Amino acid sequence: MNNILGNLSPVVKNLLIINIICFVGTMIFPNANRLLGVYYPDSPFFEVWQPISYMFMHGGFTHMFFNMFALVMFGPVIEQMFGSKRFLNYYLITALGALVLQYGVQAVEVSQIIGSPFAAESINLDLAANRISSQLPLTGDELGKLGSIYATPMVGASGAIFGLLLAFAYFYPNMPLYFMFIPVPIKAKYFVGGYILIEIYLGFNNSGSSIAHLAHVGGALFGYLMIKMWGYKKGYY
């Protein structure tokens, strides 16, 4: 274990350790995600620390494993290129960028239901009974959507991970990547570009999913904007 951690770049190593500690914490304290995951800003469960804490929490082992696997695979290369301080800024801002886009999507969804992005005073949430009600004439589907937005926390480092994938594909567009179940290598620019397109499609066509697909897109978008703002040239490989 020490050898593995010793071979990682400084920020990547510390991010990995923090995420693992937080995951172990959720096993000890099952309600930790409700406190440290991030809610819609108009939700009565929103707290000011959640936009930071949410990016270190995960919904399960598989969620955490694949995010950390991608961090270990792609993070050190990007940290070496950016330098540790800028890499940490990039990681945090892409995670926050994911949240910005997700909030924008949620605000539109709430507005489509009640005509305003603020519905907290129009609904009653009972987490203990897993029930939502309203005095407004809303359908069951509309109440379910509002309940999902107002009472379900978002967790995970996926927004930052998509920022790292975007950076890798930007700097190494022709680098062949090998993946399980795919017998041939795929150039980074095609894999990441295709992955982002799939996330966009799922974000607009898979409304029943618990995965915040457009938050992933937000991480990649903010990553691209930051790379352009910093003036990096495209394609080292």
What digits encode the pLDDT tens for the residues 194-217? 999 999 999 888 655 557 889 999
Beta bridge partners of 187: 176
**Percent of the chain's residues with pLDDT above 70:** 93
Domains and CATH numbers, the chain: 2-230 (1.20.1540.10)
Give yes or no for residue 4 having a pLDDT over 60.
no
Going by pLDDT thresholds of 50, 70 and 90, the confidence category of residue 85 is very high
pLDDT score at 110:
92
Give yes or no for residue 175 having a pLDDT over 70.
yes
Of 46-55, 70-79, 176-185, the range with the lowest mean pLDDT is: 176-185
Greater model confidence, 25 or 234: 25
Of 77-91, 116-130, 189-203, the range with the lowest mean pLDDT is: 116-130
**Highest-confidence segment of 110-114, 125-129, 137-141:** 110-114
